[in-house]
Chains A and B, each alone.
Chain A
Amino acid sequence: MSTLVLVLITGAGLGALYFLVASGLSLIYGLMHVLNFAHGAFLTLGAFIGWEVARRLDTATWSTFFVSILVGGAVGAAFAALTELALIRPLYERHIEQVLVTVGLAFAAVALYQGIWGSDPIYIDSPPWMLQTTDVLGALVPNTYWVLMLAATALLASLVIFLRFTRYGTIIRAGVENRWMVTALGIDVRRAFTVVFAIGGSAAGVGGVLAGHYTGYVSAYLGSSLLIFAFIITVIGGLGSLTGAAIASVLVAVLQQFANYYLGGTGDIIVVVLLAVVLLARPAGLLGRAS
């Protein structure tokens, strides 16, 4: 029983981390039809800069942790907005070229991070509470998972409020449905593109800092290792669907944890099998629109 509880809770926590990455990917694809391969680079930069700030303060306090989260989010947002303005915008409506430029940026960013911080993992400190466990029905759950779940819940709630109650949110929802009609109402939809990139980058940056605390280290490959799962989740959830991404994040991570524990570490294979099954049975994903 306690093992089952542990697998379920850690699955939900890992799903929360996936959602921090997948939510941005899904929003960006939904509005702009760009598969953003550079999303992992936003995450990794957030993680590195968050760690740089933390180690210059006091590495093991909550205040330092929150500052590093804020800095990671801000850095991710700035990097993403800059990417949209400098690389994506000049290639407006050229989707293949836009995807290729994000692939190029992803490779270049990893090389740059290696040049600056090296190839080896850099182990980081967390607030002591995060390194402890909490007893839930006999299962000792590492506290990091609660932080991940709290962060993802806060992100989902913020995104829902933003999308539903702000003008930019309305523009984004309308743009996901019919982008050219938004421009035909006199709205510069490209501003919404930058906003969406910044939001996605911010979530990824926060995700980067949290991923560092989850794995215990930061490295130049942190983003790329999470990005592949985030892509799978985005496809399973339905490209462009935020709710789909949230459901798929938890589904994929819980299944992955179960397979890792009960099926001899086959979690990654199971995820790919799930992707294949969803694509065969429901090509638009769980909550995606049929094209």
Chain B
Amino acid sequence: MSNEPVLTVEALHASIAGQQVVEDVSFSVPPTGITALLGRNGVGKTSTLRAILGLISRTGAITLAGERIDGMRTHRIVQRGLGYVPEDREVFSKLTVAENLTLAVRQKSPRYELVDSLFPDLVARRSQAAGTLSGGQQQMVSLARALLNDNTILLVDEPTKGLAPKLVADVTVALEEASHLVPILLVEQNLEVVKKLAGGAIVLSGGRVVHTGVATEILADEALTHRLLGVGSATGGAAI
């Protein structure tokens, strides 16, 4: 497999209602494994993902598998193989689980077997309205929607947010399994999850990239994590 980055972001600027939320962000994501996008609350991690997808107004060069996508509309970018698992799941609450999944299918042979093996809880709940599921089950629906298709990369935004420890472990296992099939750019506040999953890490501060490197090395450097992520110890698994 080529080592060319699967996703490259250069000089990305993004704004919401005239307010600059991402300033001159540049980074690249390798074609395998999980890369973490880290930073304190409000530094622009979610906005960076949304800017890549074209969900908010942005400028800059974004290249997906060698193709410029910054001029494309969101649905075209997703059709090019960029799967998105948004913060707060964003399942369609009035639609059934089956309808949520069907809506996401973009290919003739969706990977239902993979999704069923990763999330067996959802199999018996196909006809249940997604809004009546627990937070963890909704997260599974959200991840399943992205995993049904052969994507080039997944952007996953805080998948363990608000979940009980057992569900955090389940989601972590699912992401690890998924990462064998598709590279993932992961925004995650739970540093224990990042330590388990991420190879590389990109750290944002004030809307800019301030550090890139190996995730475990960054998290092992107490002074660095304190300065960049605002935590005293990276080993406690606390949310940053």
Contacts and interface: CB of A to CB of B under 8 A. Distances in A.
Contacts of A180: 55, 74
Nearest to A187: B75
B99 interface: yes
Given A174-B95, A177-B93, A185 B55 contact: no
Contacts, number: 54
Interface residues of B, number: 21
Interface stretch (B102-110, B118-126, B164-172): B102-110
A170 B86 contact: no
Interface residues of A, number: 17
A188 B72 CA distance: 12
B102 to A, nearest CB: 7
A79 B59 CA distance: 37
Contact of A178 (B90, B102, B106, B145): B90
B140 interface: no
Contact of B90 (A171, A173, A181, A189): A181
B38 interface: no
B78 A182 contact: no
A134 interface: no
Nearest to A191: B75
Nearest to B106: A186
B53 interface: yes
Interface of A: 167, 170-171, 173-174, 177-178, 180-189
18 contacts: A167-B102, A170-B95, A170-B99, A173-B94, A174-B99, A174-B103, A177-B93, A180-B55, A180-B74, A181-B86, A181-B90, A182-B103, A183-B75, A184-B53, A185-B104, A185-B145, A186-B106, A188-B75
User: 9 closest A-B pairs (Cβ-Cβ)?
Assistant: A186-B78, A183-B74, A174-B92, A181-B90, A186-B79, A185-B104, A183-B75, A188-B75, A184-B84
